[in-house]
Chain A
Amino acid sequence: MAYTIPKESFPGKVHEMALGTGDKAVAVGGGKVLPFHAFEGPVSAKPLVAIEIQDVPPADWPEEVRTPYAAVSDDPAKWAKYCQDELGAEAVALRLVGTHPDRENRSAADAVATVKAVLEAIQVPLVILGSNHAEKDAQVLVAVAEAASGKNCVIGKAQEANYKTIVAAALAHNHKLIAMSELDINLAKQLNILITQMGFNADRVLTDPMCSALGYGLEYTYSVMERIRLAALAQNDATMQPPIAGDVGMYVWKIKEVTAPEADVPEWGSLTERGVAWESLTATALILAGANLLIMRHPRAVDAVRKTVAELV
């Protein structure tokens, strides 16, 4: 008896966009079917992993993920180049965490200098992230958007509180934009609408419905992403068709499971493997739910996700 494959086709699609310039430009998003459902239609470009670096040495990162970068993390340009040349990064994400007023409180001018140095050092696309301080990000991201003009970067994150200035800067300097809302499909939709109402095309937005780590609310992020993807495809909801971004590393590398030594919790096994597994599984779950761009930290987790993606496409 022959089995009939129950294929489904959808009226909607996911926007496809290019990041970066020249030979190293990469495509993100696209496709007309659910993630990795190649049996029934065109799938999205394979998920892009941007390896995360930051503008100040990562003293706040747990040892397990700090150590692999010990030789390069004192200098963002050197760090970025290491990610590109040694780790084979297809994109780099620079987080300007040092600009946060409660941290080093670096100025917008400092951030501009860092961004220029990093852009000078690498050819792969650059994602430029603020420090998640709404007011400071509005200043910093506007300045760095200008400094990176013409490089087709991703700028983020625009949030409800500060999207206007950041959208205007991304628009003026031809960048893509990450729009972040907090774990609610309706908030994600609303922010995308506000942004497109400013004349910023939906096919240049990446939607970040807020990430969570495995064991720390991952199921919420997973389901919000699945629902966004279904809304884009099955309901052909134009406001939900931007590709999805998952800021994985930052949420994973602060929880107990990636910091507690094996001596304290022998039943959890090797801390080194546990940390890598935590980031790898969080990322794997989210690409199944619909994430198109992942921001990750540990080189081995990046490698594990790369191998998994190779099996998925």
Chain B
Amino acid sequence: MAMTGVEIFKLLPKTNCKKCGFPTCLAFAMKLAQRQADISACPDVSEEAKATLGEASAPPIRGMKLGVGEKATKMGEENVLFRHEKRFVNPCVFALNVPDSAGDDIVLTRAREVAESEIDRVGQKLRVEAISIEFASGDAARYAAAVKLAADTAPDAGLVLNCTDASAAKAAVQAVAARKPLLYGATAENMEAMAALAKENGLILAVRGQGLDEVTDLTAKAKAAGVNDLVMDGGAKTAREIIEQNTQVRRSAIKKGDKAVGFPIMTNCIREDSMLEATVAAVAVAKYSSIILISQAERWKNLALFTLRQNLYTDPQVPMQVPQKVYEIADPTPDSPLMITTNFSLTYFIVAGEVENSKVPARLAVMDCEGLSVLTAWAAGKFTANKIAQYITEGEGFDKVSKKELIIPGQVAILSGALEDKLPGWKITVGPREANGIPAFLKGRAA
């Protein structure tokens, strides 16, 4: 359970030495309570107090990294149930599952799909982060070989050992120990051996229970065995069970401070029908899963799931921006219409969409206004005649324009006079106030 600032203060040395960077121990305690400082900043605190505080000041959902190196993926550390309250922190991991019994060709194909899954979308590189190798052959040597093959083929991917047979898992871990595979995992039957394997090799251990009673039991046992980096799979079989279990876990961890379930959630979304697998995975993305197991990663599916994850993990307080650029729509010629707007992503998407709908080739100059919409940017002094004129004269992408006419949003019609003064030789045309007027506007001009 989270401690208050005053409770934390009682455990501090109360010397007000300022070594932590705060003026007093009380100020430091308050920051600790808000999770805006770390106890390690205090050089004099007792080990005992540190342990107590460490437990209390830890995030409600433990953070950990899947994989090694630059491409390791952070999981956990979530603070809220709804994204409008505060940003969802660490986007979920997609893990493509392949049974070792499928044969080397299939293992190789799946691992390649993971290795080559990266797509760029609005400036972010998105990918399937992990490959999961399922122990289905019953042959430990075969399993270790398949794991090694997948690991070598997808060198940046996180590895999930989907295996409840402790001796097979052990052989596989030996083959890829340096990659820190996630062990998926520990059941009531194999807990002792799996926990020992995880502890010995510093691995994340996923516990697999049927329902949250059993999960709670398993996390307690794993912790008692000295494994702290845990992931939980409560065995949800349907989309409804995913929502119910995940909501319950997130509430318990965040609202009740229940450490027994304060871990990232792993969800098996595998379905025979790939489209259904996509929508069930979408449920897991929206509703709190940290690792999502899928069985097929077609490119169309990846794009849709990556986009959903990106949308929902966007900071609701920071407007999404698109890069400043002159966007060419439907192969414009040098004398095609040139329109300008701001770089708030929603503004861009709506305006660009309507220009596309008009089927009139055009250029859309998107000006960097720190992600503000047209009227807000104008009011904030970021979308003014001066700044627009400067962008048009000095910015990139205008060299292809032969017709010196600029179409400005109807919302800022007021700027047209000042712009004509600042941009000698340019004709300034006032466009529609609302984006949905653009098709008629452009078609009317083209006719």
Contact = CB atoms under 8 A, between A and B. Distances in A.
Contacts of A271: 300
B403 interface: no
B275 A277 contact: yes
A143 interface: no
Interface string B73-88: 0000000001110000
A1 B83 contact: no
B238 A311 contact: yes
B17 interface: no
A278 B119 contact: no
A270 interface: yes
A4 B251 CA distance: 11
B31 interface: no
A36 B314 CA distance: 24
Could you tell me the dominant secondary structure of chain A's interface residues? helix
A215 B121 contact: yes
B283 A3 contact: no
A219 B240 contact: no
Contacts of A217: 345-346, 349-350
Nearest to B238: A311
Interface centre among A4, A220, A300, A311 (most CB of B within 10 A): A311
Given A214-B307, A313-B240, A300 B275 contact: yes
Nearest to B314: A219
A304 B276 contact: yes
Nearest to B116: A267
A222 B345 contact: no
A3 B212 contact: yes
The CB with the most chain B CB atoms within 10 A, among A1, A102, A227, A284, is that of A284
Contacts of A280: 275, 278-279
Interface string A219-239: 110110011001000000000
A270 B296 CA distance: 14
A163 B442 CA distance: 29
Contact of B216 (A2, A266, A269, A289): A2
B439 A268 contact: no
B273 interface: yes
B247 interface: yes
B243 A36 contact: yes
B122 to A, nearest CB: 8
Interface string B204-221: 000000011101110010
A285 B212 contact: no
Contacts of A288: 243, 283, 286-287
Contacts of A223: 82-84, 316
B305 to A, nearest CB: 7
Interface in A103-141: 132
Contact of A218 (B238, B240, B308): B308
A218 B308 CA distance: 8
A39 B283 contact: no
A289 to B, nearest CB: 8
A3 B238 contact: no
Given A215-B307, A217-B349, A285 B247 contact: no
Interface string B264-298: 00000000011110111011001100000000001
B261 interface: yes
B379 to A, nearest CB: 17
A78 interface: no
Nearest to A229: B82
Interface string B302-319: 111101101110101000
A274 B240 CA distance: 25
A289 B83 CA distance: 11
A269 B276 CA distance: 17
B299 A39 contact: no
A6 B243 contact: no
Given A267-B119, A285-B282, A255 B353 contact: yes
B345 to A, nearest CB: 7
A274 B300 contact: yes
A308 B286 contact: no
Contacts of B311: 214-215, 218-219, 222, 285
A284 B301 contact: no
Interface string A287-313: 011000000000010001101100111
Contacts of B239: 36, 308, 311-312
A255 B350 CA distance: 10
A193 interface: no
Interface stretch (B32-40, B43-51, B252-260): B252-260
B355 to A, nearest CB: 11
B217 A1 contact: yes
Contact of B304 (A6, A214, A256): A214
Contacts of B213: 2-3
A31 to B, nearest CB: 14
B7 interface: no
Given A273-B301, A274-B304, 11 more contacts: A1-B217, A1-B260, A3-B213, A39-B248, A216-B346, A219-B314, A268-B303, A269-B303, A280-B275, A280-B279, A304-B276
23 contacts: A6-B248, A6-B256, A35-B243, A102-B440, A132-B436, A214-B307, A215-B311, A219-B314, A222-B312, A226-B84, A227-B84, A267-B119, A267-B299, A268-B119, A270-B298, A270-B300, A273-B274, A273-B275, A274-B300, A280-B278, A284-B279, A285-B308, A313-B240
Interface of B: 82-84, 119, 121, 211-213, 215-217, 220, 238-240, 243-244, 247-248, 251-252, 255-256, 260-261, 273-276, 278-280, 282-283, 286-287, 298-305, 307-308, 310-312, 314, 316, 345-346, 349-350, 353, 356-357, 436, 439-440, 443
Going nearest first, the 8 A-B pairs with the smallest beta carbon separation are A269-B299, A269-B300, A311-B239, A274-B300, A277-B304, A219-B311, A308-B279, A215-B307
